[in-house]
Amino acid sequence: MACGMLAREVLAVKERLGLDHLELTCLPAEFHFHPDRIAPAIDAAIVKAKAQGHANIFVGYADCGTGGLLDRVCEKHGVARMEGPHCFAFYQGMVAFEAIADDDMTSFYMTDFLCRQFDAFFMKPLGLDRHPELIADFFGNYEKLVYLAQTEDPALEAVARDAARLLGLAYEKRITGYGDLVPALAAAAGRSGSAS
């Protein structure tokens, strides 16, 4: 089970690795705005999956702002989750992320998903489409936008560049691919032929 923000990427990795037995269940991507909802929703989803006969479950979430609550749910059910504080870390790979985390403290990260959903996730919910003067309030402490590209897509890169320009930030692109998602899913699938 995974964050809806990772659905396309999980399916791509599943296909790449030939993990036909792996089933994907996603929680709403909007939980990005409400991390307090993640742990209870995962708890309920695990209970449901186990009731449906799924014995091997892997959680496709990093901590994602739950403050350790997601770890408690995973421990309670004896399931593993993605390593790291957030998807921006595991896309880059935890080793690479830890090496640059301090330098990136003032970076605003975007992924392929966030490029596809920039208007729906940032412009409209924050009211920036109606009140662009709020950009400085929301993004004034950032210095650069870092596009963590899972794929090479000129249209998505154009969104990231335009977003950096709109937000008044320097721009950097890092081609990450799927990062630690690939070995994590391979390991989860390797634990059983029926991982959920």
Spell out the domain ranges in the chain: 2-87+179-190, 94-175
Q: What is the mean pLDDT of residues 75-100?
A: 95
Average pLDDT of 83-107?
A: 95
Q: Is residue 196's pLDDT more than 60?
A: no
Does the pLDDT of residue 193 top 50, yes or no?
no
- The band of 190, judged by pLDDT with boundaries at 50, 70 and 90, is confident
pTM summary value:
0.91
SS3 content of the chain, % helix, strand, coil (to 5): 50, 15, 35
Angle 169-173-178 from CA coordinates, rounded to 5°: 130
What is the percent of the chain with per-residue pLDDT over 90, rounded to a whole number? 91
Parallel, antiparallel, or unpaired: how do β-strands 144-149 and 107-110 relate?
A: parallel
Read off the amino acid at residue 183: P
